[in-house]
Amino acid sequence: MPTAFRDLNKNGRLDPYEDPTCPENERVEDLLSQMTLEEKAGLMMHSMIPIGERGALVEGVGRFGPFSTKDVVTRQHLNHFNIYGAHTPRELAEWHNSLQRVAESSRLGIPVTISSDPRHAFGENIGANMAAGSFSQWPEPIGLAAIGDAELVRQFGDIARQELACVGIRVALHPMADLATEPRWARINGTFGEDAQLSAKLTFAYIHGFQGEQLGSHSVACMTKHFPGGGPQKDGEDPHFAYGREQVYPGQHFDHHLIPFKAAFEAGTSQIMPYYGMPIGTELEEVGFAFNKQVITGLLRGKFGFDGIVCADWRVLTPATVGDKVVVVAKCWGVEHLSIPDRVKKAIEAGIDQFGGESCPEVIVELVRSGLLSERRIDESARRLLREKFRLGLFDNPYLDLDLAEQTVGRADFVAAGELAQRRSIVLLKNGKTAPILPLGGKPKLYVENISPEVASAYATLVAKPEEADLAIIRISAPYEPREGFLESRFHAGDLDFKGQAKEHILALLHTVPTIVDIFLDRPAVIPEIAEGAAALLGNFGANDAAVLDVIFGRHAPTGKLPFEMPSSMEAVRKQKEDVPFDSENPLYPFGWGLSYT
């Protein structure tokens, strides 16, 4: 219990923050009544924070320039932070405890809340997710959809909850309840696929795994995203970038994309994140969803009755800079012409409680002081933000057990569960040209590409050239159009088919030796020639070499099913309507496709 709270009550009665029987709302109101406007505004920023070497607090220079942890917490009054980067469990826990001690030294001692993007799979993108590192490693969420087992998803959520909470991460910036109806979209790997009912079922289970039946001291709160559904992006371009800002509904399927979010509300999701996109060709104002009062106040708060935290996606107000260079533009689509104070005002009036990636509380303070926003409106958001801190038990004890962190993260049974899920998610798309060739038996002479020779040698005799092999096994990834830029280079966007030298190399190998192809499907690849030429074809959604080889050699039978359609051509992709599921003309493989060995 932070000592700073013990002298707050001047009338001598038991401090409500130390009284476990005190109703939560009373604790919130008592604290809120003692907060300055500056402290309330600080609650409404959900900023990025760097972690120093070996878990030290950063005082001086962080990853993107000058940074003082103490200044940000005690002067700016920020106490919600998103972390990035890989550190050991003990380093994360030590850093967290040091940060909480700084928070305890502030005037009111309000504890810090830490959040993170997903950390349990294979993808690595500073704008969306991080690779597992020390944590147990699972398929991407799209791979959980390939398994389709709600109880497994709940189990994953419970394991991830334990691993995250023990290092101080108490808000999950996920799940993605978006539907993968536009196959070119770069965020498909984070979704539960194309089918709304499957996504709804898995979204519900995911939230229950992280939060439990009710949010409490055991929970990691879920910030479900991206309301009202980020899948129908025009031409599949992502609204992290100006050319992808338009969200379109040529099939009039706006309501269809709300189905998984209804399940999230039923599961009790603590938070919601609207996406950057701006709706085009609807009755809604054509501004980014964080600025859209019809969507946040009218639909989310009004129709669905959501009273949790609404946090704007990262950087809708200000650009990210390194020195004088802008590395990420402000994603304020539809309101680019507004000043930063006017953007803040419009978003808060739309219903936003918190601004992701921002650290400008002084703008809120000035808006209130100048009479453009009421402090009463700021209090509404402050209540929600304080309420969650109390529910998560942060006021009761924000500190971590360092030994428990080391013992929990990457625990053997957690790792084994993730390994099994990797195998269960693999989809067998094709098995032989005239007769099945899988599972392989014996110890054939194999030529391999993009597979660890050390791992592969446990299954077969390796040879150096395709001509010397009985069979080849290659691992490839779904193609994309490489783009330049700090963030753009990390997003797999654009066409879905192989071109030029990359395609020629694969097809040449297929014509040289019978070849088993395994492809990582972070998006639905267009591969008709590869599928035709391959002796066997598997799709994975995040699986290590041993997991793939276990399926190929029959040590684990394939059971996964495609969570989206795989189009037969780029022409078919371009004819699809961005908001409509299952509308690819003559798909190469339909939704739900998946062979077995029996």
The catalytic site residues sit at 313
- Spatial distance between the Cα atoms of 521 and 510, rounded to a whole number of angstroms: 20
- Sign of the CA dihedral 222, 228, 231, 237? negative
Phi, psi values for residue 496, rounded to 5°: -110, 5
Q: Which two tokens stand for residue 575?
A: 């004819």
Beta-sheet pairing, 65-68 with 320-322: unpaired
Q: Which two tokens stand for residue 76?
A: 């700016």
- Counting every residue written for the chain, the total comes to 598
Number of C-alpha atoms within 13 angstroms, CB side, residue 251? Answer: 18
Q: Which two tokens stand for residue 352?
A: 């936003």
In degrees, rounded to 5, the angle at the alpha carbon of residue 93 between the alpha carbons of residues 90 and 95 is 105
Helices and strands (H, E) in the chain, number of each type: 19, 20
Is omega for the bond preceding 16 within 30 degrees of 0, making it cis? no
- Spatial distance between the Cα atoms of 382 and 370, rounded to a whole number of angstroms: 20
Q: Which two tokens stand for residue 532?
A: 């035709």
- Sign of the CA dihedral 209, 210, 214, 217? positive
Q: Which amino acid is at 595?
A: L
Beta strands in 282-386 (DSSP E): 309-312, 320-322, 325-328, 354-356
Phi, psi values for residue 423, rounded to 5°: -70, -40
- Sign of the CA dihedral 75, 76, 77, 83? negative
* Residue 516 contacts residue 552 (beta carbons within 8 Å): yes
- Spatial distance between the Cα atoms of 47 and 78, rounded to a whole number of angstroms: 8
